[in-house]
Amino acid sequence: MALLPILEFPDPRLRTKAARIDAAEVTTPAFQELIDNMFQTMYEAPGIGLAASQVDVHKRFMVIDVSEEKNTPLVFINPEIAASEGGKVYQEGCLSVPGIFADVTRADSITVRFLDRQGVAQELTTDGLLAVCVQHEMDHLDGKLFIDYLSPLKREMVRKKLAKQRKHVA
């Protein structure tokens, strides 16, 4: 397995809309290895979700594990939200926007349809952290970041803060 580089805001590749995956591709060794690499990258970062778009693979899938023990890996291929209800404010962060956290309003309960790692159609109804994580990662697949929910002024402050952080690292 290998760690993959995570794109960081304001990289324009994060704005690319991901393409649907052909079901035949799901079970190929190369795709399964990419899934493994994404999990390793997510756990190492550390994070609880990672969309393929964040590692410059513009295909419609994501990996998530919200368990404390990091032993409940989930793969969502071609996810679609079939139903949602409620609205709640959650504080979100993102591996592509390091060190930044902000309140975002998300549906509190969702039903998502997707293919699992083996290419089998699934439907999952969930709430709380997993529901928020699914919505957050699906935004990445559509070229959207959680900071897009912020005011233009706050978004500009985030951009400047990240630029300053990068300057100190370089």
Task: Write out the binding residues.
Answer: 94, 136, 140
Determine whether 137 is an active site residue: yes
Question: Would you call 81 helix, strand, or coil by DSSP?
Answer: strand
Token readout for 12 is 């324009």
Q: Which of 25, 33, 92, 137 is catalytic?
A: 137
Listed in sequence order, the residues at least 6 apart from 91 whose beta carbon sits closer than 8 Å to its beta carbon are 101, 102, 103, 104
CB 52 within 8 A of CB 61: yes
CB 72 within 8 A of CB 64: no
Task: Write out the binding residues for Fe cation.
Answer: 94, 136, 140
What amino acid positions are annotated as catalytic residues? 137
